[in-house]
Amino acid sequence: MNVLLLNVLHLILHMASSSQHETIVTLMPNVLVVKVDQKVFTETQVPLRCGDYQDTEVIWRNGKERLENKGNQINVEVVEMMGGNYSCHNAAGDYLNHTLVLVQDIPSPNRTRRVLEKSHDTDEYIRCLAKNYSGIFHCSWKKTEYRMSAAVVFVQVGRTISCSEDSDGEGLTCQDRDSCPFAEELSRIKLTVYFRTNYLLEDYTITPFYIREIVKPDKIDITKVEGNTFQWGYPATWSRPCPYFPLTFRVKVVQHEASCDSKEKVFISETIINATEFTVRCSYKKYCFCLGAKDDLVDSQWSQWTRYEVKNKPKKH
């Protein structure tokens, strides 16, 4: 009697403990997510429903393996991180429906990230940039060495925004269909990307942003060089008209073959101007002219440097 009582108490405690460490949610049609605490052992009973097939003999498979469970509604057991792709069929073997069961670690400050690497520049997993104010922006990431096969399962995004995955699987291109370049944005963009590796699910949420906070002009093309005078225009991809979307420019002169980011090999320190022309007043025979641009009206990002190497011929006496 005492042994039986102890077994019953153990079962009750196990069920109570399991319920605290697991949650089942619907991510999208035909996709369930079991959220578990990886720090503890979990066994989760997941209910599956084939559809409206009450009067039909329904058989189930997990991949190619046929299950003993039969019927329109069944329960399957998910042990720790072992999800599955469950399909239901009629007695003749015809496909009726399916449910993909993924497993995700419950979010916590110290949870292990496996799919994406943090950027060394921004300390973020995903970085989004826009070339202008058209409402189109691009988000990119870098997968870890051991999760190169990870694929985007779902993108959750606010406003009237649609996104499509890049062909190389290393980014998203998104567009706000109701965006107006001349109107002020009223709400930030909230974006979460869900990645799947086998049956493991990870999500990465980007800090909400306005387009104006991620806008970054394309590199500037230098259109004309006469002696030490340089001229340029606005990038072809930048928003028009230019007076409504003004750019400010930074120019810098460094030693020949030095990096534009160099702080030591500098002839002329970084200078901020609004003109589209600059004359390098120096007698250096070799130097590198560096040029960058950013939105003049908001605190946004600078474009990549445009480099132009100069090799002046010595004058004949």
pLDDT in tens, 35-61: 998 888 889 999 999 999 888 899 999
**CA pair distance 115, 202, nearest whole angstrom:** 7
Nearest to 308 by CA among 285, 293, 288: 288
Cβ density class 108-124: b for 16+ within 10 Å, e for less = eeeeeeebbeeeeeeee
Is residue 260 within 8 Å of 288, Cβ to Cβ? Answer: yes
Smallest CA-to-CA distance from 216 within 309, 140, 120, 308 is with 140
Query: What is the model's pLDDT at position 4?
Result: 30
Contact (CB, 8 A) for 34 and 102: yes
CB 123 within 8 A of CB 72: no
Whole-angstrom Cα distance, residue 317 to residue 314?
A: 9
pLDDT of residue 159: 81
Q: Examine residue 241 and say whether the peptide bond preceding it is cis (omega within 30 degrees of 0).
A: yes
Question: In the prediction, which pLDDT does 11 show?
Answer: 31
Are the C-beta atoms of 101 and 32 separated by less than 8 Å?
yes
Helix (H, G, I), strand (E, B) or coil at 8: helix
In this predicted structure, what is the pLDDT of residue 278?
97
Instruction: Please report the pLDDT score of residue 245 as a whole number.
Output: 95
H or E element at residue 16 = helix 2-20
pLDDT at 290: 97
Low-confidence ranges of the chain (pLDDT < 50): 1-19, 314-317
Q: Residue 237's pLDDT is what? A: 97
6 phi and psi, to 5 degrees? Answer: -65, -40
Q: Using one digit for the tens of pLDDT, what is the confidence trace for 104-129?
A: 988 766 677 789 998 877 789 999 99
| Residue of 30, 147, 39 lying closest to 84 (CA atoms) | 30
Listed in sequence order, the DSSP H helices in the chain are 2-20, 211-214
Residue 13: the pLDDT is: 31
Quote the pTM value.
Answer: 0.83
Closest CA to 247 of 272, 213, 282, 228: 272
- The vertex-168 CA angle with 165 and 171, nearest 5°, equals 45
